[in-house]
């Protein structure tokens, strides 16, 4: 449907940093996703200053952290004859097989050294169950097992989420999808994200987020 000539155009709602019902979610800004890491995202470290600037200004900031056991089932090394970035079928569907990354207690699992973690109100660790991967900050890849983030946000009456982090087309994307499905208004600051872009996954993720009603913007508009 097109608006009538006398109707005001629809302008996406972009939350204010002083809104008490808004939280910042910083997704997986960890060494293994930054240059030199086991699953490096191109220019992944470029999101750090954007994330830090927003952390300093938002009243509530939450960090997520991939936290895999060394024998995690999503690692290609655990599947004989399988190469990284190939796929396999899990009980919950098709799973991309990744290089070993973000192993619990490893340097690669640590947050980037320049990320301001001191102001974080909560750290959500995900992917620690061996048999199931977890892209989303809210649910593991079976879309049923919760991480606890949704309950935490509801207890605080949070209704709006602003997201930055790594990678745009995986953990940010899945976090945004689950948040929308749980009723949150979601804004993604694209300059605070970088993508893997595996077989065109970046543009597909951005298009789907738009279709879901996610607001795509830049940090200077927040």
pTM: 0.91
pLDDT band at 205 (very low <50, low <70, confident <90, very high): very high
- The H or E element spanning position 215 is strand 215-217
**So what's the pLDDT on residue 10?**
45
126 is catalytic: yes
Q: Quick check: 89 pLDDT over 90?
A: yes
Q: 28, 32, 116, 133: which is the annotated catalytic residue?
A: 28
pLDDT band, residue 8 (cuts 50/70/90): very low
Domains for the chain: give ranges and CATH numbers: 22-70+99-217 (3.40.50.850)
Cα–Cα–Cα angle for 25, 16, 136, rounded to 5 degrees: 20
171 labelled catalytic: yes
107 is catalytic: no
Euclidean distance between the first and the last CA atom of the chain, given in angstroms as a whole number: 29
The three-class DSSP label of residue 21 is coil
When pLDDT is cut at 50, 70 and 90, the band that residue 196 belongs to is very high
Burial of 110 (0-12, 13-18, 19+ CB in 10 A): middle
Alpha carbon separation from 153 to 24, 138, 158, 196 (Å, rounded): 11, 10, 5, 28
Residue 19: the pLDDT is 73
As given in the structure block, the two tokens for residue 207 are: 């298009």
pLDDT interval class at 125 (50, 70, 90) = very high
What's the chain's average pLDDT?
Answer: 93
Q: How many CB atoms lie within 10 A of CB 122?
A: 16
176-187 average pLDDT score: 97
pLDDT at 11 over 80: no
Position 163 confidence tier, pLDDT thresholds 50, 70, 90: very high
pLDDT confidence band for 20 (50 / 70 / 90): confident
Q: Please identify which of the residues 32, 133, 169, 171 carries the catalytic annotation.
A: 171
pLDDT digits (tens, 9 = 90+) for 24-38: 999 999 999 999 999
Helix (H, G, I), strand (E, B), or coil: what is residue 55? helix
Catalytic pick among 32, 45, 126, 178 = 126
List, in order, residues 6 or more apart from 217 with CB less than 8 Å away.
12, 14, 187, 188, 189, 190
């Amino acid at each position: 449907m097109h608006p009538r000539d006398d109707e005001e155009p629809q302008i996406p709602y972009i939350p204010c940093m002083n809104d008490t019902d808004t939280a910042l979610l910083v997704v997986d800004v960890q060494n293994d996703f930054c240059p030199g890491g086991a699953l490096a995202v191109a220019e992944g470290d470029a999101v750090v200053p954007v994330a830090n600037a927003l952390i300093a200004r938002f009243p509530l900031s939450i960090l997520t952290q991939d936290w895999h056991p060394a024998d995690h089932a999503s690692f290609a090394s655990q599947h004989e004859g399988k190469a990284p970035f190939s796929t396999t079928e899990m009980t919950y569907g098709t799973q991309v097989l990744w290089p070993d990354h973000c192993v619990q207690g490893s340097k690669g699992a640590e947050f980037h050294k320049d990320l301001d973690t001191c102001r974080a109100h909560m750290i959500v660790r995900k992917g620690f169950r061996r048999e199931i991967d977890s892209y989303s900050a809210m649910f593991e890849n079976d879309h049923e097992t919760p991480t606890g983030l949704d309950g935490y946000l509801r207890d605080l009456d949070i209704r709006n989420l602003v997201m930055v982090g790594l990678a745009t087309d995986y953990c940010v994307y899945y976090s945004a999808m689950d948040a929308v499905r749980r009723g949150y208004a979601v804004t993604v600051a694209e300059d605070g994200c970088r993508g893997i872009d595996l077989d065109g996954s970046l543009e597909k993720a951005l298009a789907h987020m738009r279709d879901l009603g996610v607001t795509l913007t830049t940090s200077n508009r927040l």
